[in-house]
């Protein structure tokens, strides 16, 4: 069955001690979130080991924000899926628009990254989304469809059990501009249809599709009330435990 999830993407924020405090604050309030809602914190690589100790044995699951497209070896500065797994990571975000935009991440690379993450037993939160020009040109459905096909059509229905999709319109990320619930629902329904075309209706129906882009306590309820929006990938608001928890209470 499709799971509701709220995942915090901390991006390049907090020092390790600050991150440990934030994780502790999230953990302390996690009991206030209904049992059926999955909670994930995606921390910087440097924080994973320490935050793993904080959340160990709890309902809060640990995620990375990226992983390498190679298994191991001479790839200076990279962090492999096996390394993530070894510190207690359960998930990795892949294909965030900031990585696509600033670090040249391509769909082809994302296929490799997804494959290696799944092979290590990690779950993948795959991000897709159009930029402002693409939306204004009316190409948003097309762009998201292509991104989903380019990456996920290389995987199996079985693999899809460990893949979550996050729709993140680039124009809404960190800008304070949120997609309206109608705009988000249109894309979520489209993504589910694209998944159904390849994997069948059951797999598509069971896939969790998150919304991300200036999601906050004041708009989460409206967004999460839509039938194809199963939760959120939260940036800025995930840096405050109270806001993050309030969003997770918005179903």
The residue ranges that bind ligand PGA (CB under 6 A) are: 9, 168, 173-174, 212-215, 233-237
For residues 100 and 128, what is the distance between their CA atoms, to the nearest angstrom?
10
For residues 223 and 243, what is the distance between their CA atoms, to the nearest angstrom?
16
Of the residues 168, 185, 186, 188, only one is catalytic, namely 168
In the complex, least distance from residue 25 CB atom to ligand PGA, rounded to whole angstroms: 18
Q: Which residues of 27-47 are buried (b: 16+ CB within 10 A; e: fewer)?
A: bebbeebeeebbbbbbbbeeb
> CA of 8: how far to CAs of 180, 199, 211, in Å?
20, 28, 12
155 or 171, CB closer to ligand PGA?
A: 171
In the complex, least distance from residue 234 CB atom to ligand PGA, rounded to whole angstroms: 5
Of the residues 47, 96, 140, 188, only one is catalytic, namely 96
38 or 235, CB closer to ligand PGA?
A: 235
75 or 103, CB closer to ligand PGA?
A: 103
In the complex, least distance from residue 68 CB atom to ligand PGA, rounded to whole angstroms: 20
79 or 179, CB closer to ligand PGA?
A: 179
In the complex, least distance from residue 184 CB atom to ligand PGA, rounded to whole angstroms: 13
Q: For residue 59, count CB atoms less than 10 angstroms from its CB and return exposed for 0-12, middle for 13-18, buried for 19 or more.
A: middle
Look at the block and give the residue holding tokens 């934030």.
22
Question: Catalytic residue at 96?
Answer: yes
Instruction: For residue 55, list its beta bridge partners.
Output: none
Report which of 60, 49, 50 is spatially closest to residue 7, judged by C-alpha positions: 60
In the complex, least distance from residue 202 CB atom to ligand PGA, rounded to whole angstroms: 28
Report which of 25, 10, 134 is spatially closest to residue 66, judged by C-alpha positions: 10
Look at the block and give the residue holding tokens 């939306």.
135
125 or 141, CB closer to ligand PGA?
A: 125
Q: Which residue is nearest to ligand PGA (CB)?
A: 235
Question: Catalytic residue at 168?
Answer: yes
Annotated active-site positions, please? 96, 168
């Amino acid at each position: 069955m499709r799971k509701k999830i709220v995942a915090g993407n901390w991006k390049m924020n907090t020092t390790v001690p600050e991150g440990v405090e934030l994780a502790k604050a999230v953990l302390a309030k996690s009991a206030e979130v209904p049992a059926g809602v999955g909670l994930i914190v995606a921390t910087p690589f440097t924080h994973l080991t320490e935050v793993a100790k904080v959340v160990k044995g709890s309902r809060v699951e640990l995620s990375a924000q990226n992983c390498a497209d190679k298994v191991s070896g001479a790839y200076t500065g990279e962090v492999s899926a096996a390394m993530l797994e070894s510190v207690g990571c359960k998930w990795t975000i892949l294909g965030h628009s900031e990585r696509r935009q600033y670090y040249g991440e391509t769909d082809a690379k994302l296929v490799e990254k997804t494959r290696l993450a799944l092979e290590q037993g990690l779950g993948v939160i795959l991000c897709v989304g159009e930029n402002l020009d693409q939306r204004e040109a009316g190409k948003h459905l097309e762009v998201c469809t292509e991104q989903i096909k380019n990456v996920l059509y290389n995987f199996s229905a079985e693999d899809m059990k460990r893949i979550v999709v996050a729709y993140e319109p680039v124009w809404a990320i960190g800008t304070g501009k949120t997609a309206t619930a109608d705009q988000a629902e249109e894309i979520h329904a489209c993504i589910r249809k694209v998944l159904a075309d390849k994997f069948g209706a059951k797999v598509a129906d069971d896939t969790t599709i998150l919304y991300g882009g200036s999601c906050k306590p004041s708009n989460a309820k409206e967004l999460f009330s839509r039938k194809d929006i199963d939760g959120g990938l939260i940036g800025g608001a995930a840096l405050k435990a109270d806001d993050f928890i309030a969003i997770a209470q918005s179903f």
